[in-house]
Structure 1
Amino acid sequence: MADNYTRFVNGELGKKLAKQLNLPRPAVLRRYTPDAPLTVGPVLIVSDDASTADADALAKALLAWDVDVRRSTEGADDVRWGGVVLVGTSAESPEAVSESVLALGGTLRRLAGNGRVVVLSRAAETSDPPALAATRAGFEGFTRSIGKELRGGATANGVQLTGGAAVDSTSALGTLRFFLSAKSAYVDGQVLPVGPADALDDVDWEQPLAGKVAVVTGAARGIGAAIARTLARDGAKVVVVDVPAAGESLAGVANEIKGTAVQLDVTAADAGTKILDAARHVGGIDILVHNAGILRDKLLANMKPGQWDSVIAVNLASQLRINEQLLAAGVEGLRIVSLASTSGIAGNKGQTNYAYSKSGVIGHTAATAPLVAELGGTANAVAPGFIETEMTRSIPFATREVARRVIPSLQQGGLPLDVAEAIAFLASPVAKGVNGQVLRVCGQSMVGK
């Protein structure tokens, strides 16, 4: 649900007042509902000459999703584009992309509200000649900048192919579909590297986690509860974990999603073993979401040892210990998704302990990725920004409003559901080519969590 201000300025009276007073008018973001179309209108695919074959392959794949795909703007003067996909996977010089990026620019005034721009490119490699490396690297800054120019709930994101991954591979298409869909409502200006992965013969896009068992820590309320609900919606059996003090709320979440509740302190020495035992009772463990976390905000000059140590113990050390125990048990095909934060990327005043822990999550994700890959799994992280939770509702009104409205193009906070959607995508089989990455869910803002 949108915040009160956003709802007001999208009503008849609010629209008039916002226009008269020159106030920001954030759009109501489109979020996923079953059976809704993938996009809000036709999808245009543009490319440079060298990337035409990849663009054609992509168009063929989108047609299989019942998307109205166009390769030209001819005869489309009245079309409001639901999405525009720029394919630059084979461009070899900066000059070669000029025509296609300007063609993309010419469509932006006709991008529908909650429309999507997605840029497909290849990652620069150390062996690339300088001109090729520059061409490929340029797409990242380009994509982030487009995201800051869009309005009306529209977003821009990038799929960056690595290791020779094909543009129509399962993971590349799965990432493209996520970015085109309403599930990425609060993901903006992100460029996600996607490597090669085994092809999937049949993908159930509505129930991608059917037959999987997921464990979610810190699941009694807020973001954790939203994650549990979303994974269950996508077909997973869910084991929800939280401390005994949250037992009543935890049981409520478990009953709602027909899951299993486990009361457990994740800082316990044997937490990983207990999680594995609980998951085995319902069929094993396929997905582990490290969501449990605490805040003990204080300026470093005033911080006590307990305030530092408790945050590190819950937010970081527990994840390391649990991962180590699951890896030692030889769990195959495990998808680990850990909650980081934009505080761990940009820092935040009064959160040195929290920022250290969340930056540490990003570090261990990159180091864990090759270890789980040996067993056919992946490890990734999601970094939320300003998310509307009980915690953010306790922030003074003026501070909260400023934090919402400075977010570049979306001008509002995200919802726990937005974090959950990103986690569900990274936990799904189609994301096997995404490993060791951090996906920000922040509307392109770096405000601390």
Structure 2
Amino acid sequence: MSDRYIDFANSSIGQRLVGALGLPSPVRLERWQAGRLRPVEGPLLIGGGELAGQVNRFASKLTDAVFSYGPGSFNATSWIPGQGPKLKAVVFDASALLHTDQLKQLREFFQPLLRSLERNAHLVVLGRPPETLSDPFAASAQRALEGFSRSLAKELRNGSTLQLLYVGEGAEDQLEGALRFFLSPKSAYVSGQVLRLNACASQVQDWSRPLAGRKALVTGAARGIGASIAETLVRDGAHVTLLDVPAARNDLEALAARLDGRFITLDICAENAPAQLIEQLPDGLDILVHNAGITRDKTLANMTPEFWDAVLAVNLNAPQVLTKALLDSGTLRDDARVILLASISGIAGNRGQTNYAASKAGLIGLAQAWAPLLGERGISINAVAPGFIETQMTAHIPFALREAGRRMSSLGQGGLPQDVAEAVAWLGQPGSGAISGQALRVCGQSILGA
């Protein structure tokens, strides 16, 4: 649904009034559109240590305007504060900051460029996983990057975002895939996130269709976020099978026809659901997206056993049971990608949602626990945790709560189903096996949780 406040705040009259009253002034976020050729449309600035040099080697694939700033000698045009062009993307390698005294380089690099960012700019800080460093001082300095990055992300304006990527030894060749996502409008509603990249042998062969030849299953796919996920997977080259309850058959069938995919109507909580699902997937799966979920909100004092059991059965037990059956049967192939749709409620909690938050936190725990075991087969498993997303469900929230949900984030607005779908599609890529057992929040850096 339309966000009338953003429409007003970005009108000529609204801009003057909002500015005069000191009200929040969120900008319309730039999102990926069909026909776009490069992840970054504008100047990309690179600075820092050795990892920045590696980024510079493929930077020309990201944009046609690459600049360097600060220490480091790269084959790029030097950017001069106050004189250089406005920046659309920034990458700073902080992996060489191994002592408290060196952390001042963060201020020295970022402070001069903050007033030179274009609207909807995307910034990424690179580091090394603190837990892999034997020197306590070095580990401390690298851990400090997290506090810096999350805080600076909250200071950015005009729809800009910032992430921190800890790059493990051997994962350097997966930087291109990660930056293609985080420096582009595909990550428009992702900010203040911290992820770890690990070594991964798989690589994307064609960046225009990174999921080409891969078979995907999306549950809860008839409408809303599930339908958007299916559409985005197909856009990126995947062949999709859509699953939803029998009551959603008409919507499911229409979407499958439009996407040239298949559909399955199934109650995922039924005792025979695993066997039925395996029978319907004779060609196997490369991408499994557990999107199906329900809410039955009540405070715990008023929570009925039926409400509790239904939410835990659909949201948590069914993904566990179905995934195990697909794994044990070999239907879920080696090097597959499993994506679980969690929620920031599972991270921060939410009044009246003890059942829902428990189920979503359980999915994050499932990803963390299963990651090392599935990694033996090259399979990654991650959770995507949406925040306030503009859907039919949120459209029915009372006005005051809806407005609060929209504004309580660094980006000052709700996200779109496309934002969640882009994150899922990225985690479904071959190279995204570099990420496993992690939770990626798609919430505009909501003030709820970390």
Query: Shorter-chain TM-score category?
Result: over 0.9
Give the gaps of 5 or more residues in structure 1: none
CA deviation vs aligned residue, 1:258-311 (integer Å, no higher than 9, x gap): 11111001112232333333232xx42110000000000000001110000000
1:207 equivalent to 2:209? Answer yes
Alignment of 1:91-170 (within 5 A): 91-125=97-131, 128-162=134-168, 164-167=169-172, 169=173
2:60 corresponds in structure 1 to 63
Deviation at 1:14, TM superposition (A): 2.2
1:90 corresponds in structure 2 to 96
Contact 2:43–2:89 (Cα < 8 Å) also in 1: yes
Alignment of 1:62-81 (within 5 A): 62-72=59-69, 73-74=79-80, 77-81=83-87
Deviation at 1:32, TM superposition (A): 0.3
Alignment of 1:400-439 (within 5 A): 400-408=402-410, 410-439=411-440
1:54 corresponds in structure 2 to 51
Contact 1:159–1:176 (Cα < 8 Å) also in 2: no
Distance 1:274 1:334 in 2: 20
1:6 equivalent to 2:12? Answer no
CA change 1:376–1:166 in 2 (3 A) is closer
Deviation at 1:166, TM superposition (A): 4.2
Distance 1:66 1:118 in 2: 15
Give the secondary structure class of the aligned counterpart of 1:144: helix
Distance 2:157 2:82 in 1: 21
CA deviation vs aligned residue, 1:14-64 (integer Å, no higher than 9, x gap): 2223223332221000000133342242111121xxx2x322221111123
Distance 2:391 2:305 in 1: 27
Distance 1:102 1:136 in 2: 17
Equivalent pairs, count: 437
One-letter identity of the residue aligned with 2:170: A
CA change 1:297–1:100 in 2 (3 A) is closer
Deviation at 1:447, TM superposition (A): 4.8
Distance 2:130 2:120 in 1: 30
- Identity across aligned pairs (percent)? 45
One-letter identity of the residue aligned with 2:302: N
1:299 corresponds in structure 2 to 299
Contact 2:122–2:183 (Cα < 8 Å) also in 1: yes
Deviation at 1:78, TM superposition (A): 4.3
Give the secondary structure class of the aligned counterpart of 1:381: strand
1:182 corresponds in structure 2 to 185
Contact 1:165–1:194 (Cα < 8 Å) also in 2: no
Distance 2:405 2:439 in 1: 22
Alignment of 1:199-348 (within 5 A): 200=203, 203-280=205-282, 283-330=283-330, 331-348=333-350
Deviation at 1:99, TM superposition (A): 2.5
CA change 1:285–1:253 in 2 (3 A) is same
Give the secondary structure class of the aligned counterpart of 2:150: helix
Contact 1:264–1:271 (Cα < 8 Å) also in 2: yes
Distance 2:2 2:47 in 1: 33
Deviation at 1:434, TM superposition (A): 0.6
Distance 1:332 1:264 in 2: 25
Alignment of 1:343-358 (within 5 A): 343-358=345-360
- TM superposition score normalised by structure 2: 0.93
Cα RMSD of the aligned pairs, angstroms, is 1.7
Give the secondary structure class of the aligned counterpart of 1:425: helix
Give the gaps of 5 or more residues in structure 2: 70-78
Alignment of 1:368-383 (within 5 A): 368-383=370-385
Deviation at 1:9, TM superposition (A): 1.6
Contact 2:171–2:434 (Cα < 8 Å) also in 1: no
1:194 corresponds in structure 2 to 197
Contact 1:383–1:440 (Cα < 8 Å) also in 2: yes
Contact 1:215–1:289 (Cα < 8 Å) also in 2: yes
Moved more, 72-81 or 420-429: 72-81
CA deviation vs aligned residue, 1:372-392 (integer Å, no higher than 9, x gap): 222221101100011111111
**Which aligned segments of 4 or more residues in structure 1 are displaced greater than 6 angstroms?**
none
Distance 2:82 2:24 in 1: 31
Distance 1:270 1:235 in 2: 31
Give the secondary structure class of the aligned counterpart of 1:156: strand
One-letter identity of the residue aligned with 1:328: D
Distance 1:320 1:62 in 2: 40
Contact 1:159–1:172 (Cα < 8 Å) also in 2: no
1:17 corresponds in structure 2 to 17
One-letter identity of the residue aligned with 1:194: L
Contact 1:289–1:336 (Cα < 8 Å) also in 2: yes
Contact 1:40–1:114 (Cα < 8 Å) also in 2: no
Deviation at 1:76, TM superposition (A): 6.5
CA change 1:67–1:369 in 2 (3 A) is farther
Contact 1:212–1:235 (Cα < 8 Å) also in 2: yes
Deviation at 1:2, TM superposition (A): 5.6
